[in-house]
Structures are given as structure tokens and as C-alpha cells.
Structure 1
């Protein structure tokens, strides 16, 4: 596959995986939690590096997932003590992210790990870091990792589809019929953390947040059916990847930044033209009523 092909494949995998997870984030009104986890995982990555002095390996994934879960637990704990959820998210994620930034500045040294890399990612380097897979040959590490994460996310979404549906739309009903609401909540937070970490190194925090929230928000404007929302959100994620890449080539700018910008373009188009909630359709329906 060509250099550009690997970049597009990597970004598309991010778009699909984040698109699937993002739907549940939007329905659960937890969009800001995606922003929080996408930043706080930096602390887990830095801590894992300080302990092992290696930038690659499963320890990075484990450290980031643990901090992502810690973020969810702390937010839930503060909220249960009377702090508004938005305030709890703001306090926890800014504090943990700041600790990560301080550790990078004081403990990491000359390693290839800095704040700019954290925010914007290094998707242009993805095709060069490869591993040999039997029968498939040399494949970029990020593609392998993102594929495994996508399979994992798909498995849990399909395995607990009815449970996700009930707990997302009516958590009180889910609790009343005996569903383990808190267990599912932390399982979902684990999937969010896993997805965020897998995409973090490739595309950076900005694009992770954009891909988690905006395609799902756009899909929500087009359909009320959960199954179709998953499909449309994933398609919008892939579209954003391709649009962003060619915009970046055209303007000679950041690929990840352009892909994040493309999610915004798709949302604006959806906001204007979607059949049920779009600005034009709403005005048309209003005229019919008049």
C-alpha cells in the first residue's frame, strides 16, 4: 500500500472506532467525558514511560487505560458528593492533564514525547513504524492496534446491544429491571479509554475529541434509530478522514487538524440539510403548518 494509503487507512480506523463509541457518548450526554479522557491519558502514557523508559509496548496502553478509568471514577465520585458533573469533569481532567504536562517538562527529557505531539499527533510517521504480521507482511503498528481495538469495540457493542440501548435512553428503567448499570458504565468508560489511547499517538488529542463527538452528533441529526446512528457516524468518520487528508495536502497544513476541521464541515452540512432536524427542513415543515 502507498504512503498516503496507510495514512488514510489509519485515520479511517480512528474514524470508525471513534464514531461507534461517540454515538453512546452523545446518547448518554457524556460528550465532555471524551474530552477529559483524551487529555488525561497523557498522564498514564508519561507514567508508563517514566517507569519503563520505553515509548512502545503494551505498558503504554495499560497505563493510559488505567488513568482513563481513574478519570471516570473520580468524576463519578465527585458527582456523587454533590459536585455538578460538568464541574467535576473540568476539575479532574485539567488537573490530571496538567500533571502530565509537568511530568513531560521535568522528567521525560529528550524523548520523543511533547505537548505538541500530544495535541496534534504524528500521523505522518505512521507508515514508517511497522511490524511483521504472518501472511500479511509488514504493516504499521498503529493499523494493527487500531484494528484490534475496532474488533474489541464492535464485539462489546454487539454483545451488549440491548443493554447499551436501555442504559443510554433510560438508566432508571435499566436499574429497575436488574441491569448492572454501574458495571456497564465502567465497561463503557474502559472502551472509551481504550479507543482514545489507540488513536492518541497517531492523531493526537484534538482529532480524538473531534472524531468521538462530531460524527456522532452529525449522525444524531439524521436518524433516531440506534443501529443506523452507529452506521452513519462511522461513515462520517471515514468521510472526515478522506476530506481532511486532501484538504491538508491542498493547503499544506496539519493532517490531523484538517481531519478535525472536516468533522465540523460535515456537522454544519448535517445541521442545515438533515431531513428531520435541519434548518431548511424545519422551516419547510413550519410553512406547511402555517
Structure 2
């Protein structure tokens, strides 16, 4: 594959993985958890590096997943003790992110790990860091990791699809019939964490947040059916990757930044033009109310 094709494939995998996971974040009204986890995984990555002195390997995913779970646990713990959800998220993620920044500044030294790299990433370098895979040949490491993570996300959501629907739309009913709501909550946050860290090195935290929230929010405006929303969110993620890449070439700017901008542009178009919940349709049909996607 060509240099451009690898970049587009890698970014599209980010868009699909984040788009699918982001749907459940939006429906559970946990969009800001995406911002929190995308920043606090930095602490997990730094700690994993300090323990292993290596910037590649499964330990990076494990470290990020643990940091994501700790973020979720602390937010839930503070919230259960009377602190507001938004305040809990703000306090936990800024504190854990700050610890990660301090460790980078004081302990990491000359390793290729810095705050700017963590926030913005550098997807243009992805095609140069390759590994050899049987039957596939030479493939960028970031692309391979994203393929594995996408497979995990699809399998886990597919296996527990009915449980995800019920715990998303009616957690009280799910708990009453014996579904482990809290366990599924932490499993879902683990998916968010590994999706985030798989995207982290290539595109940085800013694009991860954009891909987790904007495509799902745009899809929410187009449909009331959950399975359609999942498909549309993934499709919008891919569209954002492709449009953002060529826009970056056109204006000679940051590729990741342009892709994040494209997610916002797609959401804006959806907000204005979506036939059911868009601003234009609501203006033409006064009194139209938005509906939550049905647990089909």
C-alpha cells in the first residue's frame, strides 16, 4: 500500500473504533468521560514506560486500560458520595493528567514521549514504524494495533449487544433481572481506554476526543435506531478521516487537527440538515421533538 493509503487506513480505523464506542458514551450521557479518559491514559502510558523502559508492547495498552478504569472508579466513587458528576470528572481527570505531565517532565528524560506528542500525535510518521505479520507482510505497528482493538470492540459489543442496550436505556430494569450493570460499566470503560490508547500514538488526545464524540453526536441526529446509529457513527468517523486528510494537504496544516475539524464540520451539517432532528427540519415543522434512539 502507498504512504497515503496507510495514513487513511489508520485514521479510518480510529474513526470506526471511536465511532462505535462513542455511540454508547453519547447515549449514556458520558461524553465528557471520553475527554477525561483520553487525557488520564497518559498517566498509564508513562507508568508503563517507567516500569518497562519500552514505548511499544502490550504493557502500554494494559497501563492505559488500568488508568482508564481508575478514572472511572474515582469518578464513580466521588459521585456516590455527593459530588456532582461533572465536578467529579473535572477533578479526577485534571489531577491524574497533571501527575502524568509531572512524571514526563521529571522521570522520562530523552524518550520520545512528551505532552505535545500526547495531545496532537503525528499520524504522518505512522507508515514508517512497521512490523512483519505472516500473510500480511510489512504493516505499520499503529495500524496493526488498531485492527486488533477494532476486532475486540466489535466482538465484545456483539457478544453483549442486548445487555449493552438494556443497561444503556434502562439500567434499573437491567439490574432487577440480574444483569451486572456495574461490571458492564467497567468493561465498557475498559473498551474506551484501549480504544483511546490504540489511537493515542498516531493521532493524539485531541483527535481521539473528537472521534469519540462528534461522529456519534452527528449520528444521533439522523436516526432513532441503535444499530443504524452505530453504522452511521462509524461511517462519519471514516468520512472525517478522509476529508480531514485532504483538507490538511490543501492548507498544509496538521493532519490530526484537520481530521478533528472535519468531525465538527460533519456534526454541524447534521445539526442543520438532518431530516428528523435537524435545525432546519425543526424550523419547518414547529413542535418536532427529538427522540432517544430505540433499543431495537
The aligned counterpart of 2:179 is: 179
TM-score using structure 1 length: 0.98
User: Match for residue 169 of structure 2?
Assistant: 169
The residue correspondences of 1:1-290 to structure 2 (distance < 5 A) are 1-286=1-286
The structural deviation recorded for 1:286 is 2.2
Give the distance between the partners of 1:254 and 1:54, measured in 2 at CA.
27
CA deviation vs aligned residue, 1:225-246 (integer Å, no higher than 9, x gap): 0000000000000000000000
- Once residues 210 and 266 of structure 2 are traced to their aligned partners in structure 1, the CA distance between those partners, rounded to angstroms, is 11
Shift of 1:287: 9.3
Where does structure 1 lack aligned partners over 5 or more consecutive residues?
A: none
Determine helix, strand or coil for the equivalent of 1:286. Answer: coil
Distance 2:58 2:222 in 1: 38
Where does the alignment leave 5 or more consecutive residues of structure 2 unmatched? Answer: 289-296
Q: Give the whole-Å Cα distance in 2 for the aligned partners of 1:287 and 1:96.
A: 44
Superposition RMSD in Å: 1.0
- In the aligned structure 2, how far is the partner of 1:62 from the partner of 1:287? 49
Distance in 1, Cα, partners of 2:31 & 2:2: 35
TM-score, normalised via structure 2 length:
0.96
* 4+ aligned runs moved over 3 Å, structure 1: none
* SS state at 2:286 partner: helix
- 1:283: Cα distance to partner? 1.3
Distance 2:57 2:165 in 1: 35
Number of corresponding residues: 288
CA distance in 2: counterparts of 1:227 and 1:287, whole angstroms: 27
